[in-house]
Amino acid sequence: MKLVQKRSKKTGLPPGTLVHIGEKKSDKVTITTFHYADGYCEERQLDQPDLLAPPTDESVVWANVGGVHRMDVLESFGKQFGLHALLLEDIANTDQRPKLDDYETYFFLVTKMLTLTERQDVLVEQVSLVLGRNFVLSFQENGTDVFQPVRERLRGGKGRLRQSGADYLFHALIDAIVDHYFAVLEMVGEKIESLQQLVVSDPKPETLREIHALKRQLLFLRRAVWPLRDVMNNLSRSDCPFLQHATKVFFRDVYDHVVQIVDTIETLREMVSASLDIYLSSVSYRLNTVMRVLTVITTIFMPLSFIASIYGMNFEHMPELRSEWGYPMVLGVMAAVGIAMLVVFRNKRWL
């Protein structure tokens, strides 16, 4: 997750100019289409979007595009479905904030998909969705397969998916994306829980680094999810004619999920901040204990050495030096002073 994406190559170009912004992870672009109605479902893999069959009044077309770096593909979709040049530009630019644009004859939704790799890293991928009266277009930055369950439900024909219109499919895709957020949150939550053990038992500079990495990750999560709240709220209250009333309750359901996710992110952020505080006071407490113990040791030996140095003086007239019991008595005094100091320091709990 880079802090700021390279966008400067677009500087000076007129708006609507198609330029891919982001990292190109593979060269291929995959296009999968579903053409379905109640009791009917045709699935195809296309090379060219031109070959796409147009939807009829009763059927729905869903085209899923994996990869947004081939401008000819985007332009071809634009021509076929009458999409605005700015919309195509936004699809090609993977550094978008989640948003919902109402282009009157279709909705345009940009969102971020969060998935976990096998090594528990968070992958962020931009997904753009276009909802028309009887078609849905989905553009994925890399083509990670989170829509598999939706495809299965379409193929199987069970549930209400095939009976419902394009708006319900639109909801199903968003729901599939939002569902994956929970997995990311669970992973982050577990990391924080284990961190909270660590900052008390064994605070190390690496722990600090981990805390800050988590903080940064949560910042990115929040940035990806926060605007989605308004987007889903608008969808569930929109009075657009091709969003059916019965579907809106499902958008409200997704809205509830997003609010829940935002809430959890805020809680996790407070937890990470608390971990940081505990880390700092834990480190400082440990160091202070060490320094105190060391200083106590030094302090105990100071008067003992002083006594010894007194009897190391070379005065001729020092009657103690000649006394037979001088040495053992001085040793005794030293032991007494040392033990007394130990007792005092221990009583004051300085040791």
Map the footprint of its own copies across residues 113-172, applying CB under 8 A. 148-149, 153, 159, 161, 171-172
Out of 96, 142, 164, 236, the residue judged to bind its own copies by CB under 8 A: 96
Q: Of 201, 241, 302, 347, which lies in the binding site for its own copies, with binding defined by CB under 8 A?
A: 302
Q: Which of 51, 82, 179, 346 binds its own copies (CB under 8 A)?
A: 179
Beta bridge partners of 110: 99, 128
CB of 29 to its own copies, least distance (A): 25
Q: Which of residues 222-281 bind its own copies (CB under 8 A)?
A: 223, 249-250, 252-253, 256, 259-260, 263-264, 267-268, 270-271, 274, 276-278, 280-281
Residue 287 sits in the site that holds its own copies (CB under 8 A): yes
Q: Does residue number 312 form part of the binding site for its own copies (CB under 8 A)? A: yes
Q: Which stretch binds its own copies (CB under 8 A): 3-11, 43-51, 118-126, 234-242?
A: 3-11
β 135-140/60-66 pair status: parallel
Indicate if the alpha-carbon torsion angle 79, 81, 86, 88 is positive or negative.
Answer: negative
Q: Using CB under 8 A, pick the residue from 40, 301, 333, 339 that binds its own copies.
A: 301
Regarding 40 and contact with its own copies (CB under 8 A), the answer is no
Which member of 27, 57, 239, 324 binds its own copies (CB under 8 A)? Answer: 324
- For 29-55, letters b (16+ CB in 10 Å) and e give bebbbbbbbeeebeeeeeeebeebeeb
Based on the shown chain and the rule CB under 8 A, indicate whether residue 336 belongs to the binding site for its own copies. Answer: no
| Footprint (CB under 8 A) of its own copies, residues 192-221 | 192-193, 200, 205, 208-209, 212, 215-216, 219-220
Q: At its nearest, how many Å lie between its own copies and the CB of residue 276?
A: 7
* Residue 302 CB, nearest approach to its own copies (Å): 4
d(Cα 315, Cα 306) in Å, to the nearest integer? 16
Cα gap 200→166, rounded to integer Å: 53
Show the 3-state SS of 169-221.
Answer: HHHHHHHHHHHHHHHHHHHHHHHHHHHHHHHHHCCCHHHHHHHHHHHHHHHHH
Would you say 29 or 258 has its CB closer to its own copies?
Answer: 258
Decide if residue 304 touches its own copies (CB under 8 A).
yes
Nearer to its own copies, 9 or 25 (CB): 9
Q: Which amino acid appears at position 207 of this protein?
A: T
CA distances 269 to 122, 192, 224, 265, Å, are: 17, 10, 15, 6
Residues 165 and 38: their CA atoms lie apart, in Å, by: 10
**Please, which residue, 45 or 309, has the CB nearer to its own copies?**
309
The region of 35-43, 118-126, 136-144, 287-295 touching its own copies under the rule CB under 8 A is 287-295
Count the site residues for its own copies by CB under 8 A: 115
Q: Exposure string (b/e) for 74-92, b if CB count within 10 Å is 16 or more?
A: bebbbeebebeeebbbbbb
What Å distances lie between residue 242 and 11, 38, 196, 245, 344, CA to CA?
37, 18, 49, 9, 83
Taking the least distance from each CB to its own copies, the nearer of 68 and 172 is 172
Pick one of 101, 124, 133, 230: the residue that binds its own copies (CB under 8 A).
101
The CA-based diameter of the chain, rounded to the nearest angstrom, is 122
Looking at the Cβ atoms of 52 and 236, the one nearer to its own copies is 236
- CB burial of residue 180 (10 Å; 0-12, 13-18, 19+): middle
45 forms part of the interface with its own copies (CB under 8 A):
no
First to last CA, the chain: 48
